[in-house]
């Protein structure tokens, strides 16, 4: 009977396909094998790292160097962030980003990405763009450390020890 309902367009609860959630339909159509997910993760992450390095190497070009740097560096961070989506899926990634322990770091990271682009292309203030890029790096590092157990606490303790010397 379930097969007949599925052919007619009804699920087990008697709901039509239109009533079924978009997320459920997206999950059904976008399943990837584990190997494909790993390959996509590696490609996306390597592309992000490559873009960051290209941006840093373009920093010293006269004229447009800072613009190319900011664009490539921010795009590289976006690619590195999106690469995790291939491993855990988009819904779990968003839930993880908004979890209590990393929500503040996520907001800071995304805000500094936007501010880097605004500082470079809208306000055209080179010093401000470089400051936002440095803050973007620190926020991304703090965000990444939230995934390693006790990494943030260890880093804070090391900084405190260095500051007291």
Total of domains in the chain: 1
Q: Identify the domain containing residue 29 by its residue range.
A: 1-60
The answer to pTM > 0.95 is no
Dig out the tokens for 124 from the structure. Answer: 């055209």
DSSP structural state of residue 72: H
Instruction: Tell me the residue length of the chain.
Output: 165
Q: 3-state SS string over 137-155?
A: HHHHHHHHHCCCCCHHHHH
* pLDDT tens per residue, range 39-63: 999 999 999 999 999 999 998 888 8
Dig out the tokens for 24 from the structure. Answer: 């459920």
Please indicate, yes or no, if residue 113 is contained in any of the structural domains: no
DSSP structural state of residue 120: I
Longest dimension (CA), the chain: 75
- 10 beta partners: 16
User: Residue-wise over 14-29: b if at least 16 C-beta within 10 A, else e?
Assistant: eeeeeeeeeeeeeeee
The CA distance from 130 to 56, in Å, is 11
* pLDDT tens per residue, range 80-126: 999 999 988 889 999 999 999 999 999 999 999 999 999 999 999 98
Please indicate, yes or no, if residue 55 is contained in any of the structural domains: yes
Please indicate, yes or no, if residue 48 is contained in any of the structural domains: yes
Please indicate, yes or no, if residue 36 is contained in any of the structural domains: yes
The angle at the Cα of 138, spanning 69 to 79, to the nearest 5 degrees, equals: 55
């Amino acid at each position: 009977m379930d097969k007949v309902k599925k052919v007619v367009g009804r699920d087990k609860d008697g709901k039509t396909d239109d009533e079924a959630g978009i997320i459920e339909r997206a999950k059904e159509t976008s399943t990837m094998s584990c190997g494909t997910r790993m390959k996509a993760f590696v490609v996306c992450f390597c592309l992000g790292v490559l873009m960051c390095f290209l941006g840093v190497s373009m920093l010293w070009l006269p004229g447009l160097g800072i613009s190319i740097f900011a664009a490539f560096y921010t795009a590289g961070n976006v690619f590195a962030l999106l690469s995790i989506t291939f491993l855990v899926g988009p819904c779990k990634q968003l839930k993880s980003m908004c979890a209590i322990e990393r929500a503040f770091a996520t907001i800071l990271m995304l805000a500094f990405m936007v501010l880097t682009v605004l500082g470079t292309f809208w306000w055209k203030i080179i010093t401000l763009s470089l400051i936002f890029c440095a803050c973007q790096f620190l926020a991304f590092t703090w965000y990444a450390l939230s995934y390693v157990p006790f990494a943030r606490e260890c880093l804070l303790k090391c900084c405190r020890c260095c500051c007291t010397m």
